[in-house]
Amino acid sequence: MSGTHSVDNDGGRRRAGRTLSRRQLLRTGMWGSLAVWATGSVAGGVSMFWPRGVTGFGGKVVAGKVSDFKVGQVTKVTEGKCYLVRLEQGFLALYWKCPHLGCTVPWSPPEDPGRFHCPCHGSIFDINGQKLAGPTPRSMDIMAMEIVDGKVIVDTGKITERPNFSPSEITPA
Ligand code: FES
């Protein structure tokens, strides 16, 4: 009888010990999961709002080296959705979206060489993006740009509307 009692007591203690361990394990697991989730959420939030080196359209795009472009050359920069115009005094970056209704304006199409000519409603612009004809309400928009270590960098996130071309918009090179 006392043997049985002793076995029960031991068994009970062992069971209680096991239950406690499971509880501790569950609690540890729960807090651990919460900590992992919270860390992930905070890291995700920080990375979402922390400004990083944005590239491609909406960020800064390297169009090439200054020496890559000849005076009078108009280069399509697909990544930046713009044209880089090399003028004698420097560079202009023209947003290729037509100010009228947003069509992409091609440079120097066969029917109008040496000019930008929108295929949608016929707006025409010169090499500086200055409006010449058609329904466009203004000249082609320009993008901010800079020259760093001999490289031409277009900031496609900074687009400026302008009624007419002004030589002051040229980035000297
Ligand atoms: S969208 Fe270019 S002229 Fe209308």
pLDDT in tens, the chain (173 residues): 444 444 445 544 555 555 667 777 777 777 777 776 766 666 655 555 555 566 789 999 999 999 999 999 999 999 999 999 999 999 999 999 999 999 999 999 999 999 999 999 999 999 999 999 999 999 999 999 999 999 999 999 999 999 999 999 999 99
What the block records as the tokens of 97 is 């979206």
CA atoms within 13 A on the CB side of 5: 2
Mutate to test the pocket of ligand 1, among 97, 101, 141 (most ligand atoms within 8 A of CB): 101
**In the chain, which ranges are continuous DSSP H helix?**
2-49
Ligand 1, atom 1, lies closest to the CA of 101
Phi, psi of 88 (to 5 degrees): -60, -40
- Give the Cα separation of 5 and 48 in Å (integer): 63
Please name the amino acid found at residue 5.
H
Sorted by sequence, the CB contacts under 8 Å of residue 74 that are 6+ apart come out as 83, 84, 85, 86, 107, 108, 127
Kindly give the number of the ligand 1 atom that is closest to the alpha carbon of 102: 1
Q: Do residues 93 and 71 make contact, with C-beta atoms less than 8 angstroms apart?
A: no
Rg, the chain, Cα only: 33
CA neighbor of 93 nearest in space, from 160, 46, 32, 14: 160
**Distance between Cα 114 and ligand 1 center (Å):** 18
Sorted by sequence, the CB contacts under 8 Å of residue 48 that are 6+ apart come out as none
Ligand 1, CB cutoff 6 Å, lining residues: 98, 100-103, 118, 120-123, 134-136
- Give the Cα separation of 127 and 115 in Å (integer): 6
pTM of this structure: 0.72
**Distance between Cα 74 and ligand 1 center (Å):** 20
**Distance between Cα 22 and ligand 1 center (Å):** 71
pLDDT in tens, 47-61: 555 555 667 899 999
**Distance between Cα 165 and ligand 1 center (Å):** 18
Kindly give the number of the ligand 1 atom that is closest to the alpha carbon of 135: 3
